[in-house]
Amino acid sequence: MTLVGVAWSVFYVARNAGAFSPVVYEMGETPAEVLARVPKDDSMSPMRRGRRLYGTYCAACHQWHGRGIPEQFPPLTQSEWVLASGPNRIIRIVLDGMDGAVTIRGQEYNSPMLPWRELLNDEEIASVLTFVRCNKQWNHAAEPVTPEQVRRIRSQTADRTSYWTAEELNSVPESD
């Protein structure tokens, strides 16, 4: 291979591998700066947009592999919350956060997840949750989430100022 060829393939691998690396908060970064790093390309499918958003906003805690970190951050893979018949509860979790004890796949967790209501719009929340519910690499095949579903729950819960607890969410029907 010529030198140019070698240089090109290094560049190619570096660029394309980048799409899979988790983009996480840098120390001191503002939400607006994080937002500015997310490409705004509406031609991307919800799964592709969702994957990128997941890397930016969720992977820091739930990890790229989706299995979380034992005793700190719960798994999304094979989570009964994620794979519920509908997204009513997980839309609420992403909008307004979650705190308090919760048991997922037999293990207890109890640390806060921050709210994303002000940072992510309806389409972004729908895309990231579609990625999480339909990710084949996690053997997930639930129904996708639509921006309309997010919009409706956002307005129904517009007055909410506190994080959800598992106990409260259990009284919300999984789907309509």
Q: Give the binding site for ligand HEC (CB under 6 A).
A: 57-58, 60-62, 73-76, 79, 81-82, 90, 93-94, 98-100, 102, 104, 109-111, 113-114, 116, 128, 132, 166
Alpha-carbon span 172 to 96, nearest angstrom: 14
Longest dimension (CA), the chain: 65
Residue with smaller CB distance to ligand HEC, 11 or 105 = 105
Pick the closer one to ligand HEC by CB: 2 or 139: 139
CB of 146 to ligand HEC, least distance (A): 16
- Work out how close the CB of 129 gets to ligand HEC at its nearest, in angstroms, rounded to a whole number: 6
Taking a C-beta distance cutoff of 8 angstroms, is the pair 130, 145 a contact? yes
CB of 99: closest distance to ligand HEC in angstroms? 5
Q: How many degrees, rounded to 5, is the angle at CA 109 between CA 33 and CA 62?
A: 35
Specify the residue, 8 or 25, whose C-beta has the smaller distance to ligand HEC. 25
Q: Tell the smallest beta-carbon distance from residue 8 to ligand HEC (Å).
A: 35
101 CB burial (10 A radius; 0-12, 13-18, 19+)? exposed
Q: Which two tokens stand for residue 14?
A: 């570096």
